[in-house]
Structure 1
């Protein structure tokens, strides 16, 4: 039904300018992150692409500069699977940038084989949630000074099948890559929800979103049968440009200025699962994340 509705919905568009605004986007060397960078650069923003693979990042920067006609685009190294890299990146931003108006937590890993980050987190919760949690925390003071500012976190409808396992957040007692992915995407929504409360009155607002079922290289870890199904449904999926629209909407849409903590899909407010609205679990996850990341 949703797919059919989307075919008849007028595509969202806006001519909002972002001159004099600074944007950081994680994982923006390919896919929807790169398309988001392209769009915001065309609006006049200073765009910082934060990526692990600097070769791919440089290529993305050159492409964005060429197509957007905006020379104010650069890349910086950021490995979300390593808190040392996150701290170094944040320190450089805080030192070099007078302001940060939009932070887009876009990077992610999806249904990968079991692995651990440099700090011992299961890879999906580590990159998708813990990495972005720490990054956001380290950039918050700069964002508050830059208000109005927005924090946009790319989640997924997969959050609906997720549950937060507070006793075994790193899936050490048993690993199911689909469940671990859904847990990490639910964590994105709960993080956004709690962060909104903590930022009330600061002028910094926060949003999470489902980009749609997008054809991206995140599919590479799907099993043979899963890839076959994805190819079958691919006529109903989105390309990267379409997939980036809800991220861009959350970053620039003027009517969202007074909204915070919500979940969006297809450039409109959407219903998240009941688990995504659980204040108690959200706070427990927040406390656990702070503890594991040594945030006081």
Structure 2
């Protein structure tokens, strides 16, 4: 990965940190994105100490905010003219229904709309850097999702597990729809299922204590969960792979609903509308 520039979101801890660390160990220039400056500095110090690399930078952004995402992209463009790998890793589960600074339900805003917008704003740079890769971190939780398109933000009856599952299905739909649009550009896009990994995601979700114990006993380490993400981001064996779902670094079948192209296109249109993409005077357009 020497000479390659990679951006990893949600990279100050957990899966994102392990992904950034692994890419830095392979010689990549890595941009660590997170919303907490202190955690960002700590992550940089640890990665530099572990790898001896100075080609690690931190960019601060709360990706639940569309304004922050656009500012992040401006900051990136001011310092970089290429991007070889984008890893959309950031995500969370919220026990109570909350809204983002843009008035959108937080799970949907952070887990789906954030990677959707960030990818769109960086797409021209990714195309210019081709061959380039986009890796969307999904979850097996999507297998049990069946969203209501008339209530994508779960305003009628909010359930944290349901909202999270639907956001992870949205990641897979986005992956497949984007792959179709990027055919022939040299930019690939895949979805990585890291499996059940023990990170701060679980404790911050404020789950039942007994369920937390059960999950902790069954969970793998973040460095193991990150292996599929790192494989898709960097392995020569993954070059050219696109529009696929991976588990344990192998192609896997996602849910039956995830292959519904009409549903994926419906979500795409709804996402563009919520983000103002493609509208007159908008700052960015999605791929045609």
Common topology (TM > 0.5): yes
199-208 or 167-176: bigger deviation? 167-176
Aligned to 2:187: 204
How far off is 1:224 after superposition? Answer: 5.3
Aligned to 1:273: 255
How far off is 1:165 after superposition? Answer: 2.2
Aligned to 1:27: 10
| Contact 1:134-1:293 within 8 A present in 2 as well | yes
Against the structure 1 CA distance between its residues 43 and 223, is the aligned structure 2 distance closer, same or farther, given a 3 Å change threshold?
A: closer
| Partner SS for 2:7 | strand
Aligned to 1:8: none
| Partner SS for 1:108 | coil
Q: State TM-score, norm by structure 1.
A: 0.91
Aligned to 1:134: 117
Aligned to 1:91: 74
Q: Quote the Cα distance in structure 2 between the aligned partners of 1:237 and 1:122.
A: 28
| Contact 2:95-2:206 within 8 A present in 1 as well | no
212-221 or 150-159: bigger deviation? 212-221
Aligned to 1:250: 232
| Contact 1:78-1:86 within 8 A present in 2 as well | yes
Q: Deviations over 1:182-211 (max 9, x none)?
A: 000000000000000000011000011210
Aligned to 1:188: 171
Q: Quote the Cα distance in structure 2 between the aligned partners of 1:56 and 1:257.
A: 32
Q: Quote the Cα distance in structure 1 between the aligned partners of 2:212 and 2:193.
A: 17
Q: Quote the Cα distance in structure 2 between the aligned partners of 1:197 and 1:224.
A: 37
Against the structure 1 CA distance between its residues 279 and 224, is the aligned structure 2 distance closer, same or farther, given a 3 Å change threshold?
A: closer
Q: Deviations over 1:203-251 (max 9, x none)?
A: 00001121010111111245554x4234235343211110111110111
| Partner SS for 1:35 | helix
| Partner SS for 1:171 | coil
Structure 2 unaligned blocks of 5 or more: 279-288
106-115 or 202-211: bigger deviation? 106-115
Aligned to 2:284: none
| Contact 1:112-1:124 within 8 A present in 2 as well | no
| Contact 1:164-1:187 within 8 A present in 2 as well | no
Against the structure 1 CA distance between its residues 221 and 64, is the aligned structure 2 distance closer, same or farther, given a 3 Å change threshold?
A: closer
| Partner SS for 1:25 | strand
Q: Quote the Cα distance in structure 2 between the aligned partners of 1:224 and 1:152.
A: 28
Taking the TM superposition and a 5 Å limit, the aligned residue runs for 1:20-59 are: 20-59=3-42
Q: Quote the Cα distance in structure 1 between the aligned partners of 2:95 and 2:106.
A: 8
Q: State TM-score, norm by structure 2.
A: 0.94
Q: Quote the Cα distance in structure 2 between the aligned partners of 1:241 and 1:64.
A: 13
| Partner SS for 1:33 | helix
How far off is 1:116 after superposition? Answer: 0.5
1:110 is aligned to 2:90: no
Q: Quote the Cα distance in structure 2 between the aligned partners of 1:36 and 1:285.
A: 28
Aligned residues: 278
How far off is 1:121 after superposition? Answer: 1.1
1:66 corresponds to which of 35, 49, 64 = 49
Aligned to 1:259: 241
How far off is 1:255 after superposition? Answer: 2.3
Q: Quote the Cα distance in structure 1 between the aligned partners of 2:8 and 2:214.
A: 31
Q: Quote the Cα distance in structure 1 between the aligned partners of 2:50 and 2:95.
A: 33
92-101 or 50-59: bigger deviation? 92-101
